[in-house]
Amino acid sequence: MPEPVILVVGSLHYDIMVECSTLPRKDETAIGSRWYPKFGGKGGNQAVSCARQGGPSRMVGAVGQDDFGRFLLDELARTGVDCRFVAQVAGVGSGMSVAIMDAAGDYAATIVSGANLRIAPESLTDPAIWDGVAILVLQNEIPEAVNLAAAQEASRRGIPTLLNAAPCRDLSDALKALVDLLVVNAVEAEMMGSDPVCCLRSAADAARKLAAQFEAVVVTAGGLGLAMWTAQDGTFQLPAEQVQVVSSHGAGDAFIGALACSLAAGNGLRQSCQTAAHAAALHVASPHQP
């Protein structure tokens, strides 16, 4: 039997990474030590993360007909992601971002969406996109109309939808009703209406509060760990593995990729959270080469 496919519908960005001793403040010009290009976009990173976990990964997105777009498509193919459904859009540049990372591994970034805003919602009805798909993964770096079209098609086919609501933005009731699993970090949970997350207990409280709107919720809290809530299992808290942090950049996408792979393989949410938390710990403890 063929392995279940993880379908990621989302963003693709050509990232320019800048290393600096400290993040610049407003109106400050900081002196960096080096820069390098990197494959990025939450959608692309999560699709690659799925492929690196060994799960068949398929990407729906859009790039421009430019050098950035060719770089992004080549990287998807190189890492084993099925990119047949990534559109190459004329007349618009590929999405890109600039991220500054300090000596402690913290970072700040700005994105320019470009072609990511040109994904056609009607393209999601193509039956070939859904062949063998076990789970749909969404984020908030593409228009909600695209996310809603994807979630509607997944629901019609009996496929669960995982929404990583990052960056945080208002969600329509129509989309909320189609999300089977919401994953947010501490800041996003607070922006969506929870109390501030300062410990695992407050993360669990946040997950429980957000579960009034979603079937299941995972709240990640960085170095503290995570908490989840489902109607079947109630609350579960998982402390973070203690590792030496090299860089936190991309840790959330590594978590989502591993979580989706485990769920697609038929594992429960608690076991999948444990698998994903371990993958994220390995990621932050590893050097990220250009």
The CA distances from residue 130 to 121, 125, 174, in Å, are 14, 9, 21
Residue 266 lies in a domain: yes
Confidence grade of residue 2 (pLDDT, cut at 50, 70, 90): confident
Residue 52 lies in a domain: yes
Question: Cα 179 to chain center, whole Å?
Answer: 15
The per-residue pLDDT for 287 is 73
- Owning domain of residue 134: 5-25+33-179+241-284
Using the Cα atoms of residue 58, residue 185, residue 96 and residue 34 in order, give the sign of their dihedral: negative
Residue 234 lies in a domain: no
The per-residue pLDDT for 283 is 84
Calculate the average pLDDT of the chain. 93
Residue 83 lies in a domain: yes
Confidence grade of residue 1 (pLDDT, cut at 50, 70, 90): low
Of 223 and 170, the structure prediction assigns the larger pLDDT to 170
The per-residue pLDDT for 243 is 78
The per-residue pLDDT for 190 is 95
Residue 108 lies in a domain: yes
Residue 220 lies in a domain: no
The CA distances from residue 253 to 49, 86, 191, 259, 284, in Å, are 7, 19, 19, 10, 11
Residue 161 lies in a domain: yes
Residue 226 lies in a domain: no
The per-residue pLDDT for 187 is 94
Q: How many domains does the chain have?
A: 1
- pTM exceeds 0.85: yes
Q: Residue 248 sits in a domain of what CATH number?
A: 3.40.1190.20
The per-residue pLDDT for 198 is 92
- Indicate if the pLDDT at residue 61 is higher than 60: yes
For 19-45, what is the mean pLDDT?
93
Read off φ and ψ for residue 11, nearest 5 degrees. Answer: -90, 155
The CA distances from residue 96 to 44, 123, 147, in Å, are 12, 23, 20
Confidence grade of residue 248 (pLDDT, cut at 50, 70, 90): low
- Indicate if the pLDDT at residue 97 is higher than 60: yes
